[in-house]
């Protein structure tokens, strides 16, 4: 029986080639989209699950209140690790970690710039890092370094790196003690090398000695592993006041900031990392769910094509159903036959879908910055694919099977099936559902791109063109003046300065500021802090509203400060120039007021900013390339100058405009994915529309012939054949518009500080696009039918 079902199914596919192509190709595109989105979702959910202790690893975090807002942060004080390790028995292991950064690794004449961390020795076992070669506890000695297999291959080639010496930052020699496997791309902890946490005390003994007892300097990360059976809720209750207990006499901390320590599970690091007013409010999971829904939408749209074309062509198969029922076929046998046809089409579509996924996966990986692969050798993968294909086939074939098998054989064999004027209603409903999904996606995509453009058009307050930043080093810091002079003398550079942060980030902030008329509550206001010396505003192209920049002519500028407009507004100062403000015991004199500059998120409100004079706080050099010289020529000329004064480092630089554009990566990823999904959804919908238009033209051939004989023009007939589809698309737009408006309004709420207002024009534009696409899709069949010779259709009448 099954063999017979398949034979009939194949015959029908061959007999109706056009409709078979539309069904198979439409389903294959829908399945391919669903597969790609499924791979992406799987990659997101599998993040960090390669760690054996996945269920017991946590990051220690802290809630604090600043200026009435309860924020949550990963940055913690240096002594946190030792405190948790010695006073709280809940923890199996505790590992402190810095924020990572690029450092120079030198072996012989080779120089490599690699990213790594100072991290506690417990991290190797805690994160179950796979030691491929060397010591199983490789971070216990201070002068050691752990390399990933990829880094070891790049530096040492085929040599055994264990015991070899690597010079770091052109200042200290370290011995390679272990090689570990490189972390997957979706892991949170990413590194090319690891350094012992205790090495910092050897490199910077005075600094570490100072911060070892500072509980207000939040500059490090802390990871912990709970002992088996320990409740995280009970642990949170125990460690809640770890920081606050060290500020018993500090009124600001006790009543204002109220620091509260807690642990955040590894299972939530990737997808649930957003906090609002001290509560975990979700995170990237909303986009994972959203695109999961999109994948289902596209698959449903593809299945609707099959349903519509199968039921629309019901008259073609009515006699077959009648004869089969007359000779004894039960309804369940007919249902089995039609479902077997849909499953056969689904399996053909699966083959095409796998080919499409295989072709498009490299481009999809580039778009999403992932390394996803088809697990063709994994039985579980094929099991999921089989279930997915059966689901798709049954979903697509269920309605046609039930519909076709319900025909009355007596009526059919007497004179064909008479379905009545309402028989097309289910097909119209399905077309409306198809286009509703597609139009919601179109509206959403346009609004996402409008929001992105809104952020890109926002004034940033400085000139980020022809501006580069170079990470500092001990050699560059010692040789800044000769470096500066030689760069200016080259004619390639118009200005250079030191800074504590690059032009598109701010590394530091602090509270505790006092000014004339300020209150105890005002001390909780968080100010961003940038440390620099001379020519900072000149180099970045920042405009002054009042006052001046730091100048070599004023020796008192070492205690000067420059504030932005947001800071002055928050402080409420009427005539700020010359006013004194205080941070702890240090006083600063306001020498300048600059326009607000945006170095952080383009979608957030500008925060108060203080620019202080500090020659010792240098993390980067900002370099303004001469506007009369091309960037490529300038880079080529200044590279040997940097190499001269920084021999232990390869010359590495970042263009500020390029780095600023990366702030939109998150939104552009969502926008690009939405665009691709919406285009494919429209394409699949139009494929079905084309098939329905073709069938409609075929069914109404005689009617069209009669109308032409009676004088109907091609335009009249084109309008007649197109109007039903146009009405359905208009209905779809009316349904989709409020759904899209509500959904996108919710999405825009995450950009509450700087967002667009959804305009009526978006819906008009999408309606116009949808109508144009619809008319282009059905016009070919409509015009073809309208221009056909009526003699051919009427000669048998």
Question: In this predicted model, what pLDDT tens digit does every residue of 227-262 receive, in sequence order?
Answer: 999 999 999 999 999 999 998 888 778 778 899 999
pLDDT of 660? 95
**Average confidence (pLDDT) over 411-427:** 58
**Average confidence (pLDDT) over 493-519:** 93
Residue 649 has pLDDT above 80, yes or no: yes
The neighbouring-strand residues paired with 276 are: 279
Residue 639 has pLDDT above 90, yes or no: yes
Residue 311 has pLDDT above 70, yes or no: no
Each residue's pLDDT tens digit, 365-384: 998 888 888 888 778 888 88
**Average confidence (pLDDT) over 207-223:** 93
51: closest CA among 220, 265, 229, 198? 265
| Residue with more model confidence, 409 or 545 | 545
Phi, psi of 398 (to 5 degrees): -60, -50
Q: What is the DSSP letter of 145?
A: E
pLDDT of 496? 96
Confidence of residue 595 (pLDDT cuts 50, 70, 90): very high
DSSP string, 584-600: TTEEEEEEEEE-----S
Burial status of residue 711 (CB atoms within 10 A of its CB: 0-12, 13-18, 19 or more): exposed
Residue 220 has pLDDT above 70, yes or no: yes
Residue 620 has pLDDT above 60, yes or no: yes
The alpha carbon dihedral of 410, 415, 416, 419 has a sign of: negative
The neighbouring-strand residues paired with 66 are: 69
- Over its C-alpha atoms, the chain yields an Rg (Å, rounded) of 34
pLDDT of 386? 87
Confidence of residue 458 (pLDDT cuts 50, 70, 90): very high
Convert 287-352 into a string of H (helix), E (strand) and C (coil). Answer: HHHHHHHHHHHHHHHHHHHHHHHHHHCHHHHHHHHHHHHHCCCCHHHHHHHHHHHHHHHHHHHHHH
Number of residues written out for the chain: 797
Burial status of residue 585 (CB atoms within 10 A of its CB: 0-12, 13-18, 19 or more): exposed
Residue 22 has pLDDT above 90, yes or no: no
Each residue's pLDDT tens digit, 121-170: 999 999 999 999 999 999 999 999 999 999 999 999 999 999 999 999 88
| Most confidently predicted of 152-166, 292-306, 658-672 | 152-166
Q: Is 225 helix (H, G, I), strand (E, B) or coil?
A: strand
**Average confidence (pLDDT) over 523-530:** 92
Phi, psi of 229 (to 5 degrees): 85, -5
The percentage of the chain sitting over the pLDDT mark of 90, rounded to a whole number, equals: 56
- CA 342 to CA 24: how far, in whole Å? 10
pLDDT of 718? 74
**Average confidence (pLDDT) over 466-471:** 95
Instruction: Choose the weakest-confidence range: 398-407, 451-460, 625-634, 763-772.
Output: 398-407
Cα angle 293, 294, 299 (rounded to 5 degrees) comes to 100
Residue 318 has pLDDT above 70, yes or no: no
pLDDT of 426? 72
DSSP string, 277-289: TTEEEE-THHHHH
What phi-psi label fits residue 131: left (phi over 0), alpha (psi between -120 and 50 degrees) or beta? beta
Burial status of residue 224 (CB atoms within 10 A of its CB: 0-12, 13-18, 19 or more): buried
Predicted TM-score (pTM) of this structure:
0.85
| Residue with more model confidence, 394 or 535 | 535
Alpha helices in 600-650 (DSSP H): 631-645
**Average confidence (pLDDT) over 682-691:** 81
Alpha helices in 646-713 (DSSP H): 656-661, 665-699, 701-709
pLDDT of 698? 62
pLDDT of 786? 65
- CA 486 to CA 508: how far, in whole Å? 30
Confidence of residue 640 (pLDDT cuts 50, 70, 90): very high
pLDDT of 315? 56
Confidence of residue 16 (pLDDT cuts 50, 70, 90): low
762-775: string of b/e by CB count within 10 Å (b at 16+)? bbeebbeebbebbe
pLDDT of 585? 85
Cα angle 228, 230, 236 (rounded to 5 degrees) comes to 140
pLDDT of 788? 64
| Residue with more model confidence, 694 or 171 | 171
Residue 325 has pLDDT above 80, yes or no: no
Residue 421 has pLDDT above 80, yes or no: no
pLDDT of 1? 55
Each residue's pLDDT tens digit, 100-112: 889 999 998 899 9
Element (DSSP H or E) covering residue 189: none
Residue 570 has pLDDT above 70, yes or no: yes
pLDDT of 791? 57
Structure tokens at 218: 């939040």
Q: Tokens 């399905």, residue? A: 430
Confidence of residue 344 (pLDDT cuts 50, 70, 90): confident
| Most confidently predicted of 29-43, 315-329, 632-646 | 632-646
Confidence of residue 14 (pLDDT cuts 50, 70, 90): low
How does the average pLDDT of the chain come out, rounded? 87
pLDDT of 389? 84
pLDDT of 404? 62
Structure tokens at 400: 């046609």
- Helix and strand element counts for the chain (H, E): 26, 27
pLDDT of 2? 59
- Decide: 654 and 469 in contact? Cβ < 8 Å: yes
**Average confidence (pLDDT) over 469-485:** 94
Residue 320 has pLDDT above 70, yes or no: no
Structure tokens at 654: 């970042």
Each residue's pLDDT tens digit, 728-740: 889 999 999 999 9
pLDDT of 670? 87
**Average confidence (pLDDT) over 324-352:** 75
**Average confidence (pLDDT) over 655-668:** 92
């Amino acid at each position: 029986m099954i063999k017979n079902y398949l034979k009939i199914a194949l015959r029908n596919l061959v007999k109706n080639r056009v409709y078979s192509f539309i069904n198979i190709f439409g389903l294959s595109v829908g399945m391919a989209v669903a597969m790609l989105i499924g791979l992406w979702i799987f990659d997101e959910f599998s993040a960090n699950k390669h760690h054996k202790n996945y269920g017991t690893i946590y990051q220690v975090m802290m809630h604090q209140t600043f200026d009435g807002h309860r924020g949550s942060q990963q940055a913690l004080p240096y002594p946190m690790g030792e405190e948790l390790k010695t006073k709280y028995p809940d923890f199996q292991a505790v590992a402190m970690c810095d924020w990572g950064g690029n450092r120079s690794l030198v072996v012989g004449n080779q120089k490599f710039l690699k990213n790594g961390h100072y991290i506690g020795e417990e991290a190797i076992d805690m994160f179950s890092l796979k030691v491929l070669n060397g010591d199983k506890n490789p971070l216990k000695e201070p002068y050691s370094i752990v390399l990933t297999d990829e880094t070891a291959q790049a530096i040492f080639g085929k040599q055994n790196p264990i015991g070899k010496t690597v010079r770091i930052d052109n200042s200290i020699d370290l011995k390679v003690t272990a090689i570990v496997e490189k972390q997957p791309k979706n892991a949170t902890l990413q590194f090319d090398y690891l350094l012992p946490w205790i090495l910092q005390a050897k490199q910077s003994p005075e600094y570490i000695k100072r911060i070892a007892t500072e509980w207000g300097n939040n500059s490090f990360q802390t990871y912990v592993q709970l002992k088996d059976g320990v409740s995280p809720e009970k642990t949170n209750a125990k460690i809640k006041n770890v920081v606050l207990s060290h500020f018993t006499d500090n009124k600001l901390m006790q009543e204002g900031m109220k620091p509260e320590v807690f642990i955040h599970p590894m299972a939530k690091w990737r997808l649930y990392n957003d906090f609002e007013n001290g509560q975990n409010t979700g995170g990237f999971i909303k986009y994972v769910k959203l695109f999961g829904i999109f994948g289902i939408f596209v698959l449903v749209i593809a299945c609707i094509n099959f349903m519509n074309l199968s039921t629309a062509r019901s008259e073609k198969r009515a006699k077959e159903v009648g004869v089969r029922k007359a000779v004894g076929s039960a309804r369940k046998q007919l249902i089995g036959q039609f479902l077997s046809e849909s499953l056969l089409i689904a399996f053909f579509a699966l083959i095409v879908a796998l080919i499409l996924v295989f072709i498009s996966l490299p481009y999809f990986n580039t778009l999403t910055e992932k390394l996803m692969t088809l697990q063709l050798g994994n039985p579980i993968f094929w099991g999921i694919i089989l279930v997915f294909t059966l689901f798709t086939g049954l979903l697509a074939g269920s309605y046609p099977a039930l519909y076709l098998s319900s025909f009355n054989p007596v009526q059919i064999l007497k004179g064909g099936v008479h379905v009545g004027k309402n028989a097309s209603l289910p097909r119209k409903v399905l077309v409306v559902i198809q286009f509703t999904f597609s139009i919601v996606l179109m509206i959403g995509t346009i609004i996402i791109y409008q929001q992105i453009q809104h952020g890109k058009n926002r004034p940033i307050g400085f000139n980020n063109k022809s501006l580069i930043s170079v990470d500092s080093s001990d050699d560059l810091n010692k040789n800044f003046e000769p470096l500066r002079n030689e760069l200016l003398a080259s004619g390639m550079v118009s200005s250079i300065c030191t800074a504590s942060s690059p032009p598109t980030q701010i590394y530091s902030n602090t509270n505790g500021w006092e000014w004339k008329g300020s209150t105890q509550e005002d001390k909780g206001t968080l100010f961003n802090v940038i440390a620099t010396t001379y020519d900072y505003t000149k180099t970045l192209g920042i405009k002054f509203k009042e006052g001046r920049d730091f100048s070599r002519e004023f020796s008192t500028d070492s205690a000067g400060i420059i504030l932005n407009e947001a800071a002055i507004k928050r402080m409420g100062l009427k005539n700020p120039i010359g006013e004194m403000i205080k941070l702890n015991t240090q006083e600063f004199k306001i020498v300048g007021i600059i326009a607000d500059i945006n170095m952080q998120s383009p979608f957030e409100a500008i925060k108060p900013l203080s620019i202080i004079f500090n020659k010792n706080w240098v993390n980067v050099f900002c370099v303004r390339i001469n506007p009369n010289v091309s960037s490529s020529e300038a880079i080529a000329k200044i590279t040997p100058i940097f190499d001269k004064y920084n021999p232990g480092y390869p010359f590495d630089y970042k263009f500020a405009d390029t780095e600023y554009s990366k702030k939109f990566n998150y939104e552009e990823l969502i926008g690009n994915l939405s665009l691709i999904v919406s285009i494919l959804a429209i394409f699949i919908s139009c494929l079905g529309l084309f098939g329905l238009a073709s069938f409609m033209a075929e069914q109404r051939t005689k009617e069209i012939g009669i109308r032409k004989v009676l004088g109907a023009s091609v335009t009249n007939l084109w309008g007649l054949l197109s109007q039903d589809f146009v009405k359905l698309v208009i209905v779809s737009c009316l349904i989709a518009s409020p759904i899209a408006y509500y959904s996108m309004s919710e999405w825009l709420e995450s950009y509450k500080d700087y967002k667009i207002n959804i305009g009526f024009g978006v819906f008009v534009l999408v309606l116009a696009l949808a109508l144009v696409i619809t008319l282009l899709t059905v016009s070919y069949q409509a015009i073809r039918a309208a221009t056909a010779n009526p003699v051919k259709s009427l000669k048998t009448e």
